[in-house]
Chain A
Amino acid sequence: MALTREQIAKRVAQELKDGYYVNLGIGIPTLVANYVPDGIEVMLQSENGLLGMGPYPTEDQVDADMINAGKETVTAIKGASIFSSAESFAMIRGGHVDLTVLGAFEVDQQGNIASYMIPGKLVKGMGGAMDLVAGAQNIVVTMTHADKHGNSKLLESCTLPLTGVDCIRKVVTDLAVMEIRNGAFYLIERAPGVSVDEIKEKTAGNLIIEGDIPEMEF
């Protein structure tokens, strides 16, 4: 069975390590915060200028001056810091954020990502995504393996305008976990009950399968 959004987030959460500073994008990446493994402490960075983002506020706590990069009202944890956009992107560009999780329209086997623009549709902008993919050492992309018409999003070469080049090393989809290296997707894990053949069929790029591929564990 293909994973739900929550299950994808849960699998991505296994990539978190104690002491990590983490930037979570909008959509499935945001859900990762709900599944931080026990005994691990991470600090969430929001690129509008907040390090140490906390949960959504209660009605009493709502403050128009406390928002995240998705423009949602949030809180700050104890030990948080707040700073300017320039400072925020110095952290990001300077490689100080340990893990970035973001969504995409397409990823290719060279590690290129397209995530902000579909020609012919209204372009809303890249926001901070280009800075994040250019700066992070460690980026995980979450997306569905194929679009709603069944077309693979894991390609030999991205067809849409790029957000960044040669920067993605790991992808978690509703079907599989893959690493990108040597110009290919390496299948690492498969979703419970999903066959290697199905993943193969839905991966347009070069997919390398070495030995038995274990199922994801939650």
Chain B
Amino acid sequence: MAGFNKVVSSYEEAMQGLEDGMTVIAGGFGLCGIPEGLIAQIKKMQTRELTFVSNNCGVDDFGLGLLLQDKQIKKMISSYVGENAEFERQFLSGELEVELTPQGTLAEKMRAGGAGIPAFYTATGYGTPVAEGKESREFNGRHYILEESITGDFAIIRAWKADKTGNLVYRDTAMNFNPMAATAGKITVVEVEEIVEVGELKPTEIHTPGIYVDRVIQGSFEKRIERLTLAKS
């Protein structure tokens, strides 16, 4: 790799260094904005005992659900799961550990992790099962619980465009968790729809600066729709 050129040419290279037992932070909301090719590569590598931090866990035959097929995931840290039968089966049989985390807290855990903040107080979850075993404190008459931030050995994300130095732009609501996930990986790998030349992206338009990004790969995406809803004609 020369200078700031982050572009890699194969999925093998993109996921090089991923090992059994690692923690992977994944961008995406439902099936929207997920790094499809990187997930496929992890399936191909058959890496096991992985902890995934991701808002959801895909469906049976798409997204992170693909990694459940061969039981590659040991633990999921998510806000909403169970859109897939295999997930349910593994969870109920105790093969898969699940740590349910409120969606906003999950986003903030990634953001804080990437920003070097080890923990933060939030009112979310106070007085609920989420607060069990956590410190709580009162500020200005309101109760808050202490939530620890999250970092991962890898972050796998999807962006719309990247320049060769890893500056990223996301497309529409495919942004979701991707910007925070990008900051929270020791190695951040981005799969993009289009790689452009340095200088093509306007500095003020960049959503994720390249400093957070280690590897960029050109992907091709199925972009499956989870719930097609149409206007009544």
Query: Which residues of chain A come closer than 8 Å to B92, judged between CB atoms?
Result: 122
Cβ of A149 under 8 Å from chain B: no
CB distance from B233 to the nearest CB of A (A): 7
* B229 engages A128 (CB within 8 Å): no
Q: Does A86 contact B (CB under 8 A)?
A: yes
Total interface residues on B, using CB and 8 Å?
A: 56
Cα–Cα distance between A59 and B122 once the two chains are bound (Å): 41
CB 8 Å contact bits of A123-148 with B (1 = contact, 0 = none): 11111111100110000000000000
Q: Considering only CB atoms and an 8 Å cut-off, how many residues of chain A contact the other chain?
A: 53
Closest Cβ–Cβ distance, residue A104 to chain B (whole Å): 13
CB pair B102 A131 closer than 8 Å: yes
Pair B103/A89 contact, Cβ less than 8 Å: yes
**Selected contact of A67 from candidates B29, B125, B178, CB within 8 Å:** B29
As a 0/1 sequence over residues 219 to 233 of chain B, the CB contacts with chain A under 8 angstroms (1 = contact) are 000011111111111
In the assembled complex, the Cα of A166 lies from the Cα of B127 at a distance in Å of: 9
Kindly state the separation between the CA atoms of A88 and B33 in the bound complex, as whole angstroms.
Answer: 16
A191 at interface by CB-CB < 8 Å: no
Whether B31 sits at the interface, judged by CB under 8 Å, is yes
Assess the A124–B108 pair: CB atoms within 8 A: no
Contacts of B128 in A (CB 8 A): 130, 161-165
The answer on a CB contact under 8 Å between A85 and B227 is no
In the bound complex, how far is the Cα of B227 from the Cα of A163, in angstroms?
26
Stretch of B66-74, B166-174, B196-204, B210-218 with 4 or more beta carbons under 8 angstroms from chain A:
B166-174
Instruction: State whether the Cβ of B51 lies closer than 8 Å to any Cβ in chain A.
Output: no
Contacts of B103 in A (CB 8 A): 47, 85, 89, 126-128, 131
Among the stretches A14-22, A48-56, A174-182, A194-202, the one at the interface with B is A48-56
Query: Considering the chains assembled together, what is the distance between the CA atoms of A89 and B147 in angstroms?
Result: 15
Which of B33, B104, B179 is within 8 Å of A131, CB to CB? B104
Is A63 part of the binding interface, using a Cβ–Cβ cutoff of 8 Å? yes
What distance in Å separates the Cβ of A48 from its nearest Cβ neighbour in chain B?
5
Chain A residues within 8 Å of B, Cβ to Cβ:
46-50, 55-59, 62-74, 76, 82-86, 88-89, 92-93, 112, 117, 122-131, 134-135, 161-166
Known: A62-B225, A131-B124, A135-B124. 7 other contacts (CB 8 A): A58-B233, A64-B225, A67-B225, A67-B227, A69-B29, A84-B178, A161-B129
